[in-house]
Amino acid sequence: MNTHVTRILVAWVFATAPAFALNSGWSIQPSGTTQPLRGIHLSDYASGIAVGGTYLSSTGASTQVVLRTASGGDTWSQINGYGDTRLYGIRMADATTGWAVGDFGLVLRTENGGLSWNLQSTIGVDTFYAVDSLDSQHAWIAGVDAYVYRTSNGGLTWSRSDTRACDTCPVNILLAIDFVDEWRGWTVGYFGYLKVTDDGGVTWRDQIPPVSVNLRGVRFVNDREGWIVGSTSTILHTDDGGETWTKQTPPTTGRILNAIHMVDSSNGWIAGQGGLIWATTDGGVNWTVQPTPVSTDLRALWFVDGFRGWAVGDNGVILRTTTGGMTPGDVDCDGEVGIADAALALRFASGLRAPSGMETALADLAEPTGVITIADAAAIAHAL
């Protein structure tokens, strides 16, 4: 092996050395709490909110957690929310305005980026599990009793829609809601419950998934293409607005999947039971396991682009990735770093374009353009 090629290989080993030790593209961030975290949203690379808490039905005691970061999660500060009622869902409409929802019909709103929160409403006495918002005026809330609440005036008033087909139909629990514009949205819940609206949430109609398990997360990237996740490793995909759904193949069966986030039609992540994170770079044709440094259940995740993402879960866990979850140096995307990755790194160093989905894995070797040039590798080697 000539000297130049040797230096490229050494550069690859140097750049990926932490990966051999950690074997994860996800790292733990200090949250300052051991309370369960159930929702997270970042409005940009730096600013984000995480919410959670506990409730003991035996005593009626509850706690509320609201965390805020202005550093992309390097540090998190605990913020006074409102009272001690547990929170489940958080959505920032923009950098300043957002809503958080939780037990006993609690709806909180911020207008200063989460620095302070005001009680906007207590709608009924049931639990709200999810909230979605497109701007400072439009928001939707979903939870127990199959009700969806909507506002078009920033939350000054809320209107209720019953997603059940009839007054005597079985009551269900809605766990997630997602809108692509102010008219079209989807909500999912227990026992394969799936509804769609075309009029902003005034009325809802059935869509029929090919499963009857609890559906826990839904994400659409446009008005036609979307994904749903749920119990027993369920992953569903549609490309016709939900009129038909197909099952996608999970890497592991029998797992509870709590949340999904797709940044586009190709790239997305799933979080769930036991520290689980799965990823796809081809729209779910293939899902791969991304190792994480935790074994606690993950409840929610959010990405601001194809590289930077966060996940939260039990015991106050907050995880962050800046590589799309890929282990640095894992060029062949198999969750491990080894000789095969070195061989591929050398191949890409010749100027060949990286195969689709590998750009993130190569980010530690060069700018994330998908191309590793001899000049790039030489520059890294020169720095040794």
CA distances from 254 to 78, 233, 234, 272, 366 (A): 35, 5, 9, 11, 38
Q: Could you tell me the two tokens for 251? A: 């890497």
Distance of CA 120 to the CA centre of its chain: 26
Segment holding 218, helix H or strand E: strand 215-220
Q: Give a yes or no: residue 54 inside a domain.
A: yes
Q: How far is Cα 178 from Cα 229, in angstroms, rounded to an integer?
A: 13
- Shared domain for 364 and 341, answered yes or no, is yes
Number of structural domains, the chain? 2
Give one DSSP letter per residue of 228-257, joined into a string: EEESTT-EEEESSTTSS-EE---SSSS--E
- Shared domain for 102 and 238, answered yes or no, is yes
Q: Give a yes or no: residue 369 inside a domain.
A: yes
- Shared domain for 11 and 44, answered yes or no, is no
Q: How far is Cα 382 from Cα 384, in angstroms, rounded to an integer?
A: 5
Q: Give a yes or no: residue 283 inside a domain.
A: yes
pTM confidence score: 0.82
- Shared domain for 56 and 16, answered yes or no, is no
- Shared domain for 351 and 270, answered yes or no, is no
Cβ(103)–Cβ(52) under 8 Å? no
- Shared domain for 337 and 273, answered yes or no, is no
- Shared domain for 9 and 43, answered yes or no, is no
Q: Give a yes or no: residue 320 inside a domain.
A: no
- Shared domain for 345 and 236, answered yes or no, is no
Sign of CA dihedral 70, 370, 8, 346: positive
Q: How far is Cα 204 from Cα 202, in angstroms, rounded to an integer?
A: 7
Q: Which residue has the tokens 């769609």?
A: 196
Q: Could you tell me the two tokens for 66? A: 């609201």
Q: Could you tell me the two tokens for 46? A: 């730096």
Q: How far is Cα 205 from Cα 224, in angstroms, rounded to an integer?
A: 16
Q: Give a yes or no: residue 170 inside a domain.
A: yes
Beta bridge partners of 279: 269, 288
Q: How far is Cα 216 from Cα 272, in angstroms, rounded to an integer?
A: 10
Q: What is the CATH number of the domain that holds 261?
A: 2.130.10.10
Beta bridge partners of 100: 90, 108
Enumerate the H helices of the chain as residue ranges. 3-22, 339-349, 374-382
Beta bridge partners of 139: 133, 151
pLDDT value for 21: 38
- Shared domain for 201 and 258, answered yes or no, is yes
Q: Give a yes or no: residue 242 inside a domain.
A: yes
Beta bridge partners of 353: 371
- Shared domain for 236 and 354, answered yes or no, is no
- Shared domain for 244 and 290, answered yes or no, is yes
- Tell me the pLDDT of the chain (384 aa) as tens digits: 444 444 444 444 444 444 433 467 999 999 999 999 999 999 999 999 999 999 988 888 999 999 999 999 999 999 999 999 999 999 999 999 999 999 999 999 999 999 999 999 778 778 999 999 999 999 999 999 899 999 999 999 999 998 886 666 676 899 999 999 999 999 999 999 999 999 999 999 999 999 999 999 999 999 999 999 999 999 999 999 999 999 999 999 999 999 999 999 999 999 999 999 999 999 999 999 999 999 999 999 999 999 999 999 999 999 999 999 998 766 555 556 555 555 555 554 444 444 444 444 444 444 444 454 555 555 444 444
Residue 347: domain span: 3-21+330-382
Q: Give a yes or no: residue 237 inside a domain.
A: yes
- Shared domain for 155 and 12, answered yes or no, is no
